Amino acid sequence: MRIFLDSNIWIYALNQCQDMRKHQIANVLANQTGLYLSTQVINEVSVNLIKKGKFKEDQIQNLIQGFYQIHNIIELDINILLKASQLRTKYSLSFWDSLIIASALAVNIQQLYSEDMQHGLIIESLHIINPFL
């Protein structure tokens, strides 16, 4: 099964200074190989870990290299951007959430784990799951 992890799941997994329960749940999800994430997620995770986690630049570089070595990275392109626009109109999604969902749909992801999106929502073949409920 193809799984996509939203930025917040990665941030909980990588930053122990937050909620320990969420850290443990996110860590289990993030320690799988072959996960999917987009360049948008890498950007969001990096910015948050620099600001909130006080990560140094070498840590961010190692993180980025690890993402590319271990997981499947979805690059944003015109098709994803246009699909995101359609999703925003149809589902009243935020700009950023629609990009995440469009990226996942572009490579036939079945499950998207996110704390910020509506748990149980199904968009086309994609199921959104909040693992912290």
**pLDDT, tens only, 101-125:** 999 999 999 999 999 999 999 999 9
Confidence of residue 15 (pLDDT cuts 50, 70, 90): confident
What is the DSSP pairing of strand 126-129 with strand 122-123? antiparallel
Residue 17 in this model has a pLDDT that exceeds 80:
no
Tell me, what's the pLDDT at 94? 95
Tell me, what's the pLDDT at 52? 86
Tell me, what's the pLDDT at 133? 96
Q: Is 113 helix (H, G, I), strand (E, B) or coil?
A: strand
**pLDDT, tens only, 71-98:** 999 999 999 999 999 999 999 999 999 9
Q: For the chain, give the longest Cα–Cα distance.
A: 41
What DSSP assignment string belongs to 31-99?
Answer: TSSS-EEEHHHHHHHHHHHHHTS---HHHHHHHHHHHHHHSEEEPP-HHHHHHHHHHHHHH---HHHHH
pTM, two decimals, is: 0.94
Tell me, what's the pLDDT at 33? 86
Distance in angstroms (rounded) separating the CA atoms of residues 104 and 2: 9
**pLDDT, tens only, 22-67:** 999 999 999 998 899 999 999 999 999 999 889 999 999 999 999 9
Tell me, what's the pLDDT at 1? 86
Tell me, what's the pLDDT at 98? 97
43: phi then psi, degrees, rounded to nearest 5 = -60, -50
> Residue 112, Cβ neighbours under 10 Å: how many?
25
In order of their start, the domains of the chain are 3-129 (3.40.50.1010)
Tell me, what's the pLDDT at 120? 96
Tell me, what's the pLDDT at 34? 87
CA 81, 69, 67, 133 dihedral sign is positive
Q: How far is CA 101 from CA 41, 69, 88, in A?
A: 11, 23, 10
